[in-house]
Amino acid sequence: MLKLEFFIKHLYYPDLNSMTWTLDYTKKSDFNDSCGFWFVVPHPDDPDKTRLFYSVEVSMFDWVPKFVVDFMSTKALTDATAWVKKYSELEYEKQGGKNEATTIAIDASGSTSIPKKKNEVLGKLKFWDKKAEKLEKKKQAEEEAKKKSEEERIASEKEAKKKIFVSWTRICVAFSISMLGLYNVHLGVSH
């Protein structure tokens, strides 16, 4: 339905297990700008598995309608990552796995996992969901603590301002009474 042409420059960093890319600015592309990366690390819970992180940022020209940008973003993400499933399953089969059991799970952070058994898929997704849930709860707790400390700071500032106001009021009243007393003495002496 829609074809876009763009030219990319890839930079591979084997020591960092990553590859980055940007538009090739020497050529004319249908995007205003684009950059991103692939990053590979061993799975923290199973060294036989790999986590693959993918990130991309695309900037379209101002004249492109938002719904077109949204559609292209969704389609581009699917197309850009679909080959991972295909080739990881082929590699898994080469290493003695069965094709029917291979499924790639992609969590919210973009990491992927190829489970050895079909029933591991749900377990891993639950694990990721729990991990994401724990992270979300931790983030909420930190935000609540920050909000509470901010409220306490504001309350203590209000209390300090109130004390200062009361102190100055007392000083002004004492000064006024002293001045009125001196004036009264002056009136009594002058008559």
Are residues 49 and 42 in contact, defined by beta-carbon separation less than 8 angstroms?
yes
Are residues 56 and 40 in contact, defined by beta-carbon separation less than 8 angstroms?
no
Please indicate, yes or no, whether the overall pTM of this predicted structure exceeds 0.75: no
Distances 116 to 6, 48, 108, 175 between C-alpha atoms, Å: 37, 9, 21, 85
Query: Domain ranges in the chain?
Result: 8-118
pLDDT tens series, the chain, 191 aa = 567 788 889 999 888 888 998 888 899 888 788 888 888 888 888 877 788 888 888 778 888 788 877 777 777 677 777 888 788 778 778 877 654 433 444 444 444 444 444 333 333 333 344 565 677 788 889 999 999 999 999 999 999 999 999 999 999 999 999 999 888 888 888 87
